């Protein structure tokens, strides 16, 4: 994927000799260099994957939606004292972010039993989890992003014990803010995935994105288990109307001020 500099006229005019270099391409985003080594450019893609990329497809407009929603929710969290990697969004599907070293951990917070938790434990779908469950997964596609125990976290040295404790605390703080916010949107935050990174000062920043790709979201106005789904489960489970669901979530999120 090529970046068209005409989308960034103010930057192109000032730094016309600079050519962005692709640093990384994942399932949902591409990361590019900028003329400032402390700042990177994230391009959100419309590509969709599920089941460790065994299922692939496209959700039209997803890049724009996820970028806009992530920006709004990052700003919300920043008002509550949470440090994020967000700088700004030059175009609808791009985000300038602070360069961080991503910790190889996916931090999952679960408020309600769903998905793999039900499959692996036998818990009934919709079981309320009090207190919320915080899980750590090894961010490694080749291994299938396995669930990690506390001892395995220490064994693999993926983060220090102090960092793991801080990640847990931050995840629960984020959950409290987002759960209240989504509730005002008429949406239940079932569970979600977070990623974090270290900046040059070794400060932990919230990174990646917060979107229907990374959150399981249920419409509170619907009781039907299929109709209430407003997230990537619509794509995973072939429920249809994926783009419409993503758009409805974005509209409700942007309608809520903070």
Same domain, 40 and 82: yes
Give yes or no for a contact between 66 and 122, defined as CB atoms under 8 angstroms apart: no
Same domain, 199 and 233: yes
CATH number of the domain where residue 39 is located: 3.30.200.20
Domain count, the chain: 2
For the segment 191-243, what is each residue's pLDDT rounded down to a tens digit?
999 999 999 999 999 999 999 999 999 999 999 999 999 999 999 999 999 99
Q: Which residue has the tokens 């001020």?
A: 257
For the segment 171-180, what is each residue's pLDDT rounded down to a tens digit?
999 999 999 9
Find the domain containing 249 and state its range: 101-255
Task: Write out the E strands in 173-220.
Answer: 187-198, 204-207, 215-219
Q: Supply the pLDDT for residue 257.
A: 86
Q: Which residue has the tokens 């014990």?
A: 161
Same domain, 124 and 245: yes
Same domain, 139 and 247: yes
Q: What is the pLDDT along the chain (258 residues), one digit of tens a residue?
A: 445 444 444 544 544 577 889 999 999 999 999 999 999 999 999 999 998 778 999 999 999 999 999 999 999 999 999 999 999 999 999 999 999 999 999 999 999 999 999 999 999 999 999 999 999 999 999 999 999 999 999 999 999 999 999 999 999 999 999 999 999 999 999 999 999 999 999 999 999 999 999 999 999 999 999 999 999 999 999 999 999 999 999 999 999 988
The CA distance from 38 to 172, in Å, is 28
Q: Supply the pLDDT for residue 54.
A: 84
The 8-class DSSP code of residue 6 comes to: G
> Which of 68, 98, 128 delimits the end of a domain?
98
- 85's CB contacts (< 8 A; 6+ apart) are 97, 98, 100, 197, 199, 205, 206, 207
- 196's CB contacts (< 8 A; 6+ apart) are 102, 103, 105, 107, 167, 170, 204, 205, 206, 207
Same domain, 68 and 186: no
**What is the model's pTM?**
0.91
- 81's CB contacts (< 8 A; 6+ apart) are none
> Which of 67, 98, 129 delimits the end of a domain?
98
Same domain, 144 and 197: yes
């Amino acid at each position: 994927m090529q970046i068209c500099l005409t989308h960034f006229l103010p930057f192109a005019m000032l730094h016309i000799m600079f050519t962005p270099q692709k640093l990384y391409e994942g399932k949902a985003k591409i990361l590019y260099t900028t003329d400032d080594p402390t700042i990177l450019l994230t391009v959100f893609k419309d590509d969709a994957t599920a089941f460790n990329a065994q299922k692939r497809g496209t959700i039209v407009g997803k890049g724009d939606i996820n970028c806009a929603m992530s920006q709004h929710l990052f700003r919300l969290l920043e008002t509550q004292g949470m440090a994020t990697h967000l700088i700004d969004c030059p175009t609808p599907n791009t985000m300038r972010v602070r360069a961080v070293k991503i910790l190889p951990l996916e931090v999952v917070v679960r408020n309600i039993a769903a998905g793999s938790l039900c499959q692996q434990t036998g818990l009934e779908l919709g079981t309320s989890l009090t207190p919320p469950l915080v899980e750590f997964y090894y961010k490694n596609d080749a291994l299938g992003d396995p669930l990690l125990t506390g001892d395995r976290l220490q064994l693999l040295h993926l983060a220090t014990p102090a960092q793991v404790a801080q990640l847990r605390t931050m995840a629960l703080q984020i959950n409290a803010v987002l759960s209240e916010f989504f509730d005002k949107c008429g949406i239940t935050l079932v569970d979600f995935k977070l990623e974090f990174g270290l900046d040059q000062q070794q400060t932990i920043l919230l990174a990646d994105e917060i979107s229907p790709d990374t959150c399981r979201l249920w419409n509170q106005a619907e009781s039907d288990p299929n109709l209430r789904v407003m997230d990537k489960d619509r794509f995973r489970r072939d429920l249809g109307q994926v783009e419409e669901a993503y758009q409805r979530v974005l509209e409700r999120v942007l309608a809520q001020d903070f």
